Structure 1
Amino acid sequence: MEKWLKSISFIFVSIVFFQFNLYAGTTGKIAGRVIDAQTKEALAGANVVILNTSLGASVDLDGTYYIINIPPGVYDIEASFIGYQTVRKQKVVVTVDRTTTVNFELQPTVLETEVVEVVAEREDIIRDLTATSQKVSGAQIRQLPVENLGDILSLQAGVTQDPGGGIHLRGGRSDEIQYYVDGIAVTNPFGRGLAVPVQNNVIQEMEVISGTFNAEYGQAMSGIVNIVTKEGGDQTNVSFSAYSGDFVSTHDDVFMNINHIDPFSQKYVEGAISGPVPLFNKRIYYFISGRFRDEENWLYGKRLHMPSDTADFTSPDPENWAVQYTGDGKIIPMNPSREVSYQAKLTFKPFSNLKMSYNFLGNSSRWKNYDHHNKYNPEYIPTHYSQGITNLFVLTHTISASTFHEFRMSYYWDKYERHCRKDPFDPFYDQGIHKKIDVPQDVFAVGGVDAGFEYRENLTTAIKYDLVSQVNKYNLIKIGVEYRRHDLKDEWFVVRKDEGTNWQLQIDDLSSFAHNYYHKKPLELAAYIQDKIEIEDLVVNAGIRFDYFDPNSKVPVNMTDPSNKRGAPEDYAYRDATVKTQISPRFGLAFPISDRGNIHVAYGHFFQIPDLGRLYENPEFEVIGRFESFIGNADLEPQRTTMYEIGLQQQLIQNLVMNVTCYFKDIRHLAGTKLYKTFEQDEYGQYANNDYGNVWGITASLDLRKMGMISANLDYTYQIAEGNGSDPKQAFYDARNRDESAKTLIPLDWDQRHVLNAIVTVSGKSWGISSISKFHTGFPYTPITTYNRSPNIQLKNEGRRKAEFNMDLRLYKSIHFGKITTRFFVNIENVFDNLRNEYRPEITERDLRVHEPKTFLNSLYEYRFNPATQPMPRLVKVGLDVEM
């Protein structure tokens, strides 16, 4: 109770003392000067307005003005003053959390109706960039051969994507990213991905902050992904897109069924409509979109066996093995995916100083993960299902030209389940669950079914109140508070047959080791203070953040008896997990070294509670056997990172800018493993804050703004990511396998020393070609000298795989029919159909003598060469976009 009172008092004092609140950036700012073109004197009292909006400002005595709270986009800005020509600057780009400088020089005139139109020059140097950040607009996304958010993220400097698809910002673990949508965090506490996927066609602007981010952002140690979604405008707009395709590859020795071409095996349909709601005098606007995706994908199996099949492998002669084949021999997709997503956003502007918006996002998907061992028994593998909805409400009230406040509320719900059949008493399990078949090494599975079930549900409610004020022309103050409550449920069990005389299906009760369930309600609070100081030759972002977390759970006291088998009183056997708090200072500085160059330095402390699933895993703390059990730890301390960076922006020539950044991260208190032994001599693991690591690197990029028909971006990253373990359970797995855990820093699984990305776009008036090329050195791995023997004693990840190259391509041609634009396009992914050759297993002559000639089951090579270790083969998609 005392800690609660201290935390609430801290937040209350922060609000009263500073009188302003902070928000996660969803808007930008325009500032500049208005002067007489001849005398260069300030034109105090001149008006500056953003056309087709209610935003504007008056010029002060020294000629300066600023306009805040501008949604990202492209605008026309107009400056006017009595006795002077009106000047209109067109195509001014405004981005989130950035100040766009727009200066005006007005000529005296007797004809006040004259308007001079000028196309604004886009700033090559971002003057107020105090930490590494990359921004991508919806228009840019539309031109690239990308399908989802992960594709876009993987293009940013300092970002690596591991073979499993996980995104790592500057060498951190994949769960160290916080996602924001329309100014509020919407990260799933299980796994820390985006709670509900946001499709590309609803993104107005996306910012990836991989550097030392401001105090307004929390619960992340590697980076922030900040998404602002589109909203309706004054004109009704309709767009529709449909495309399909299939894999076109020559690697039929690697991918089963890849030479069978079905142009509709990969299907995509999406559409959007936006505009003003009729009869409301352009006070209510809507944006509605939806997408359907159905992918058969590229990994197949063959249904030779059914789960009911059995086999007898006791004979030493493979020719005498007795194996059942009751399958129909049909080719079966083993990594298919289907998804439906939708969005509806309403924006209400009853008055010029009041704006309300409601954003609803929904998603439903199902998929399977390839299982190589069950390639000929595909009915074994379970199906994964997920669905979720996100509700976002934002109320913005503009108090004056320099101050506005916002109230935000979010409610998101998601559900995940995994099983082969929804009903655990389905006859399918009765046939598929039988005594274990001892399949020989390097032989595919015969019969059986995955009898595991998992149900996971999360409901998160968050509230933020923010107020932002440009207190003078130098200081933009932000301070804020946030409340977040999670409601987590997780259940896991295995269906089995009673080993008695009945031999019937059954589910063990919650006291069983094979049935776990928990329902937890952790709480988060935060307060943060930020000041952005902008003077002529200096920009400073300085702030401090306070985080509070209550896990609202218990942990065992006696680790030799975690499940309390000795029957001690509950108050003695378990205690409440402690509340965690953290204060994190952040500082960033940017200053010019010339009129074409800028340097920034930044420093910050970052705090993050581990994935909440790790806190509550195995809630009954059950332990059996030798390292067969692992328990969660609700008393885990916050993981902490200290980050430093220094960077340079330099304009080389007109429209060509170079960025170079050096960074270092010191990572402490990562979730790892601590090993224990019970009084019954059972051995187990528990999460503990004993993993650590560090990352350092340098990124360099060249950004060529469009010159004629060409625009391009080239970025290179050299990075070393080291730690004592890539997986929090690594020490547990090592103990179970009787391996030695690393006692020193080793390369992490996603450590890539060299990464080079190139995006090139060539476009004319009605056509375009864009390409994404990626080159990176290989990931580390632990070599094994002989396949059938234990590895030599050596450091983990001592080996290094070969370098890889990939190119994706998009070609389009537009045809105009009045107000209707039709665009035909072709997307090609993995243009050169590249493989990872070093993944092919080495097979010795001795192995061949044992296994050849081929048995009727499979060859040794076929079993050891898992196609899931290869990149996706060449994919060709053809479609059209329609806009009106």
Structure 2
Amino acid sequence: FELHQHAVAVDSILVEAKPDVILDPLAPQDLQRITGEEIRRLPVTTVEEAVALSAGAVGESYRGGRLGEQAFVLDGLGVKNQVDASTGPLGVRIPPDLLTEASLVTNAFSARYGQAVSGLINVVTKDPGDEWRSRLAYETDRPLWNGWDYGIDRVVATTNGPLGHGIGLLAAVDADTRLDADPVNAPPPTDPRDPRTASPWLLPHNGGQRLTVAAKVTAPLGRQTIRLFGLRSTDQRLLFDPAYKYDGAFAPAQRVRGDLVSGHLQRAFGNNSVNPMTLDLRVGWFDREFLRGSLSQAPAAAFGPFPGAPFHFLGEDLARARDTAGAMAAVPAFTPPALSEHTPWGVPAFFVSSGSRGEIAWNRFRELRTQLDVTLGGGRDADFYLGGEFAAQHVETFQRVKAYLPVGVSATDPVPPPTASDFRPHSGAVYAETQLRVEDLAFTFGLRYDQFDPRPPAGAGTQAAGVQRSINPRVAVSTVLKNATFVASVGRFSQPPDFQYLVDASFDDTLRTGRFRRGNPSLGFEAAVQYEFSVRMRPTAITAVRVNLYVKRLDGLVASVPLGLDPDSAIFGNGDFGTVKGVELLLERDITRGWGVRATYALMGATATATNAFQILRRIRIGTLGDTIFPARVEFPLDYDRRHAITVVGQGRVTRKGPFSGLEAAAIFRYNSGLPYTRTNATGDTLIGLPNSYRLPAEKTLDLLVRRPLSVGGLSGGMYLDVRNLFNWRNLESVRRDTGTPGADATTIQRWAQDAYAANPSPIPYESPRYRRWADVNGDGYLAGPGELMPLYLAAARDFGQPLFAYGPPRLVRLGVEFAF
């Protein structure tokens, strides 16, 4: 037979090849990624814990920066608590089961993103699948014996699938309650009469309740797809206060509620794969409310892992109305605290009852953000990115301290006036960025213009400077070597200050020196310039090595600038500056043949003149011994200046058949050198040495998760054991500034007791509720004189001075079960 040639029309064939994230020269970012599936396999609970495994992270401080100097991006849309990011939480929690991945970028991240000077946390959520899949997990420590039972109950439920007509749904619920939401590994008390002796592992009035409900809907809109996302998070906490140890009903509490709704519409133009154009329109609404103070009623009991009724606070209505005139007098329902008579010691000292501290702290932040991003293909060797965003914000705040007293000078201490604000800032940005490829070189050029208008409330104490502007260029160049990629980058980053610093602030915290700060609506941008060299290598197909060397210059950070000798005269100003230098080493072996490991080491030095905005800015100058040259301003280690940090994450799975087939294990080991602190004299008014010239001891933890697959009734699932701080290492996280030890020394305890006895030397008769029969040495029905009263005052002083929160968390064990269907 004879063969003939014929032209046959076939459909186009699309070949997609994902570039190696390690060697890709078009990825200049220093990106550390963790997937949602990895979070499920590791002994971590939240996205924040997962991101904290990255090199350069100290809690939620990144590369030596202050808290709140990072941006949070959810599905391409920025979300930030612009009111008090440096002192408060974001307000929303993303259930890990919703994630595709979370990543931390700490160098020249794209000009598309702003509102950050230290890092970018990028979170990508899943899309609903083509068939229904669900997961249900429950974990608890309730079956465990004393010392391991911290009252943890947590449930996670997710489901996703098609609803028909191309519409998909992804939904999740993440709820947990804890009897002790912030457990500590403090030594047990030595006095058997202390109630903590029987159960030293649980702190009273320290519980917490959290609930997050989220949903994502995808739907066709013509040839495009629209994505809608909604989330509500609540976090309620009882706050342990040592002064209210025996009268927890008057101790403080707080509630944070966050709502987030966003929409994303993407439109692609043109069928040309070489020169495509894509438009992304995103709109988001963020609403966050914070309350802290005294509960108006006892909190409702939780139902398993699900929280009870919302907390309500004394003076809550006054705060929401921002009624400063009504708050000038003593606020109704607040009563002055009195020395407690419910202690084991009976004597009137240290512990209080009958009334709270009188704090009312409330703020609410609302933001409507619109963002448009355009991606243009410029041929095979260029890409262009253009876009902009605009955010209309609404800020409301109220603060009152010692609400049981009228404003003015009390018998012992001045009471600052209440502060309130209601203003509507605007912020916006435009950016342009291009990536060019020239043979083995790749160049990234970006320029971002940011501005914000504080639009302060009428009657603000300082004349506003109007619109604040900032121009931020970013440049990166990369080239491919043999099995390696070299990247050099430099960029300027800026963010508006927390809006809480634009208005007056009153607070009840004498450690900050004073109780009042003047707001400054003229505050400008906080900024940083970072230089970085990075080398990324693949020695083998399954291993990767990354080395980052960086220098970051901080400038214009907010600090409290004194205007006189009175600390309450200080005003917030852009007066702080600093320098961060560091090296990061990352080693990784992909999970192959049943095991994988990732290790990071970070060496860092971070210095500045103030760690947070409430610290009084001290311009300490080194003496010149008569030299006529004026000395330079001196920088000191920041509170987050962690010199050495090592993190090792290992994962393994038994693949052979047998009784342990399918068994999974994951471990996280951390070793961190100590953070700096400042020594003072006993009165706290004189520094011993330079600020932050002393160091805490090193910290170490080992966390472990072991999972065993199981099948019940046709449902696949597993059982797991999650252990944090496996060896129960007692890590010291803070010390007393006067002694450099966790607790007060014997001399200080003796002085406290003598001062308390001198203030109340009166005998305690038998009829008094303060009388303690066991302390009546001579049995005359009176506790009188130093022989009988001083031992009680000493015991009370030792009880009050226990350094509970000087220590980190103890061993925490959770038993869990999960099913997928």
Instruction: Give TM-score scaled by structure 2 length.
Output: 0.78
The one-letter amino acid paired with 1:710 is W
Runs of 4+ in 1 over 6 A off after TM superposition: 45-48, 298-301, 329-332, 425-429, 435-442, 732-735
- Counterpart of 2:547? 660
Q: How does 1:795-874 map to 2 (within 5 A)?
A: 795-816=690-711, 820-836=715-731, 839=735, 840-841=741-742, 846=747, 854-855=791-792, 858=795, 860-874=797-811
* Residues in 2 aligned to 1:498 and 1:805: alpha-carbon distance in whole angstroms: 46
Instruction: Say whether the 8 Å CA contact 1:813–1:823 is kept in structure 2.
Output: yes
Residue from 169, 173, 180 that aligns with 2:73: 180
- Counterpart of 1:629? 516
* Residues in 1 aligned to 2:118 and 2:605: alpha-carbon distance in whole angstroms: 15
Instruction: Say whether the 8 Å CA contact 2:69–2:116 is kept in structure 1.
Output: yes
Residue from 129, 136, 154 that aligns with 1:268: 154
Residue from 370, 379, 395 that aligns with 2:249: 379
Counterpart check, 1:343 vs 2:214 = yes
Instruction: Say whether the 8 Å CA contact 2:95–2:172 is kept in structure 1.
Output: no
* Residues in 2 aligned to 1:332 and 1:814: alpha-carbon distance in whole angstroms: 36
Residue from 15, 29, 32 that aligns with 1:134: 32
* Residues in 2 aligned to 1:498 and 1:170: alpha-carbon distance in whole angstroms: 43
The one-letter amino acid paired with 2:710 is I
* Residues in 1 aligned to 2:161 and 2:419: alpha-carbon distance in whole angstroms: 49
SS at match of 1:652: coil
- Counterpart of 1:189? 82
SS at match of 1:335: coil
- Counterpart of 1:392? 262
* Residues in 2 aligned to 1:497 and 1:441: alpha-carbon distance in whole angstroms: 20
* Residues in 2 aligned to 1:705 and 1:463: alpha-carbon distance in whole angstroms: 39
Residue from 602, 606, 614 that aligns with 2:489: 602
SS at match of 1:232: coil
SS at match of 1:201: helix
The one-letter amino acid paired with 1:639 is E
* Residues in 1 aligned to 2:614 and 2:684: alpha-carbon distance in whole angstroms: 24
Q: How does 1:542-561 map to 2 (within 5 A)?
A: 542-553=445-456
Counterpart check, 1:414 vs 2:288 = yes
- Counterpart of 2:388? 481
- Relative distance call for 1:126 and 1:773 in structure 2 (3 A) is farther
Instruction: Say whether the 8 Å CA contact 2:587–2:598 is kept in structure 1.
Output: yes
SS at match of 1:730: coil
- Relative distance call for 1:592 and 1:431 in structure 2 (3 A) is closer
- Counterpart of 1:586? 474
Residue from 357, 361, 368 that aligns with 1:461: 368
The one-letter amino acid paired with 1:339 is R
* Residues in 1 aligned to 2:797 and 2:339: alpha-carbon distance in whole angstroms: 22
How far off its partner does 1:534 sit?
3.6
- Relative distance call for 1:358 and 1:191 in structure 2 (3 A) is same
Instruction: Say whether the 8 Å CA contact 1:443–1:858 is kept in structure 2.
Output: no
* Residues in 1 aligned to 2:101 and 2:269: alpha-carbon distance in whole angstroms: 26
How far off its partner does 1:383 sit?
1.4
- Counterpart of 1:764? 654
Which blocks of at least 5 consecutive residues in structure 1 are unaligned? 1-44, 50-55, 58-76, 78-91, 93-99, 102-121, 162-166, 249-258, 302-324, 504-511, 557-561, 564-573, 620-625, 736-741
- Counterpart of 1:6? none
- Counterpart of 2:357? 450
- Counterpart of 1:691? 576
* Residues in 2 aligned to 1:848 and 1:289: alpha-carbon distance in whole angstroms: 51
How far off its partner does 1:423 sit?
5.9
SS at match of 2:570: strand
- Counterpart of 2:528? 641
The one-letter amino acid paired with 1:212 is A
* Residues in 2 aligned to 1:499 and 1:466: alpha-carbon distance in whole angstroms: 53
- Counterpart of 1:153? 51
The one-letter amino acid paired with 1:820 is L
How far off its partner does 1:612 sit?
1.1
Counterpart check, 1:707 vs 2:592 = yes
* Residues in 2 aligned to 1:630 and 1:588: alpha-carbon distance in whole angstroms: 41
* Residues in 1 aligned to 2:183 and 2:335: alpha-carbon distance in whole angstroms: 21
Identify, as 1 or 2, the structure richer in strand.
Answer: 1
* Residues in 2 aligned to 1:634 and 1:745: alpha-carbon distance in whole angstroms: 26
SS at match of 1:533: strand
- Relative distance call for 1:771 and 1:639 in structure 2 (3 A) is same
The one-letter amino acid paired with 2:169 is Y
How far off its partner does 1:332 sit?
6.4
- Counterpart of 2:41? 143
* Residues in 1 aligned to 2:72 and 2:49: alpha-carbon distance in whole angstroms: 15
- Counterpart of 1:199? 95
* Residues in 2 aligned to 1:758 and 1:700: alpha-carbon distance in whole angstroms: 12
Instruction: Say whether the 8 Å CA contact 1:555–1:576 is kept in structure 2.
Output: no
- Counterpart of 1:781? 677
Instruction: Say whether the 8 Å CA contact 1:647–1:659 is kept in structure 2.
Output: yes
- Counterpart of 2:61? 168
Q: Describe the superposition over 1:451-474 as per-residue Cα deviations: whole angstroms up to 9, x where unpaired.
A: 221221111001112221222111
- Relative distance call for 1:151 and 1:423 in structure 2 (3 A) is closer
How far off its partner does 1:340 sit?
0.8
The one-letter amino acid paired with 1:190 is V
- Relative distance call for 1:48 and 1:139 in structure 2 (3 A) is farther
The one-letter amino acid paired with 2:168 is Y
Counterpart check, 1:526 vs 2:433 = no
- Counterpart of 2:624? none
SS at match of 1:539: strand
Instruction: Say whether the 8 Å CA contact 1:808–1:830 is kept in structure 2.
Output: yes
- Relative distance call for 1:441 and 1:157 in structure 2 (3 A) is farther
* Residues in 2 aligned to 1:541 and 1:655: alpha-carbon distance in whole angstroms: 28
How far off its partner does 1:218 sit?
0.7
Counterpart check, 1:717 vs 2:602 = yes
Q: Describe the superposition over 1:492-514 as per-residue Cα deviations: whole angstroms up to 9, x where unpaired.
A: 235745789xx9xxxxxxxx943
SS at match of 2:50: helix
Q: Describe the superposition over 1:403-437 as per-residue Cα deviations: whole angstroms up to 9, x where unpaired.
A: 22121110111111122224647999758425789
* Residues in 2 aligned to 1:428 and 1:687: alpha-carbon distance in whole angstroms: 28
The one-letter amino acid paired with 2:434 is D
* Residues in 1 aligned to 2:449 and 2:684: alpha-carbon distance in whole angstroms: 52
- Relative distance call for 1:458 and 1:860 in structure 2 (3 A) is same
SS at match of 1:238: strand
Instruction: Say whether the 8 Å CA contact 1:442–1:864 is kept in structure 2.
Output: no
- Counterpart of 2:309? none
* Residues in 1 aligned to 2:83 and 2:143: alpha-carbon distance in whole angstroms: 33
What percent of counterpart residues are identical? Answer: 19
- Relative distance call for 1:435 and 1:376 in structure 2 (3 A) is closer
The one-letter amino acid paired with 1:753 is R
* Residues in 1 aligned to 2:687 and 2:65: alpha-carbon distance in whole angstroms: 29
- Relative distance call for 1:273 and 1:582 in structure 2 (3 A) is same
* Residues in 2 aligned to 1:362 and 1:722: alpha-carbon distance in whole angstroms: 38
- Counterpart of 2:237? 367
* Residues in 2 aligned to 1:847 and 1:477: alpha-carbon distance in whole angstroms: 66
- Counterpart of 1:316? none
Q: Describe the superposition over 1:554-594 as per-residue Cα deviations: whole angstroms up to 9, x where unpaired.
A: 698xxxxx96xxxxxxxxxx634321111111111211121
The one-letter amino acid paired with 2:645 is V
RMSD: 3.6
Which blocks of at least 5 consecutive residues in structure 2 are unaligned? 1-8, 185-194, 297-311, 317-329, 507-512, 621-631, 656-661, 736-740, 754-786
- Counterpart of 1:304? none
SS at match of 1:472: coil
Instruction: Say whether the 8 Å CA contact 1:841–1:864 is kept in structure 2.
Output: no
